[in-house]
């Protein structure tokens, strides 16, 4: 069993944003289920829609900032951005990036 490298400060922030974005996706999906299937009430979508939108934008910004600080290659950044689209994929990407050491000790930028 291999250990995951310790996360840097930006890496920890990226983890928090990735998990929050995935949770907001879940809330939005539940809200949509209730809106279209169960009670035909929009309250869940009205609540989670803006929350998810804000966290989605925050995730994209965090991915770009962390990619720059940690000097990710373009392939990794594109994968991080694509992971923002399917539900819960940001958690998958964050775990993958952490396991590969892409969220630990950023390289200093001159």
pTM: 0.86
SS3 of 19, please? helix
Report how far residue 74's alpha carbon sits from residue 14's, in angstroms, rounded to the nearest whole number: 17
The Cβ of residue 15 has, within 10 Å, a number of other Cβ atoms equal to: 20
Rg, C-alpha atoms of the chain = 16
Check whether 107 has a pLDDT greater than 60.
no
From the list 58, 49, 46, 47, the residue with the least C-alpha distance to 21 is 58
Q: Over range 43-69, report the average pLDDT.
A: 94
What pLDDT, on the 0 to 100 scale, is given for residue 84?
95
Check whether 110 has a pLDDT greater than 50.
no
- pLDDT tens for 77-91 read 999 999 999 999 999
What pLDDT, on the 0 to 100 scale, is given for residue 41?
83
Check whether 109 has a pLDDT greater than 70.
no
């Amino acid at each position: 069993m291999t250990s995951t490298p310790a996360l840097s400060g930006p890496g920890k922030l990226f983890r928090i944003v990735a998990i929050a974005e995935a949770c907001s996706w879940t809330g939005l999906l539940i809200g949509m289920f209730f809106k279209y299937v169960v009670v035909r009430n929009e309250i869940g979508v009205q609540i989670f829609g803006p929350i998810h939108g804000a966290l989605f934008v925050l995730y994209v910004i965090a991915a770009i900032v962390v990619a720059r600080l940690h000097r990710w290659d373009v392939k990794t950044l594109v994968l991080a951005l694509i992971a923002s689209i399917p539900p819960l994929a940001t958690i998958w990407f964050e775990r993958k990036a952490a396991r590969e050491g892409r969220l630990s000790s950023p390289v200093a930028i001159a």
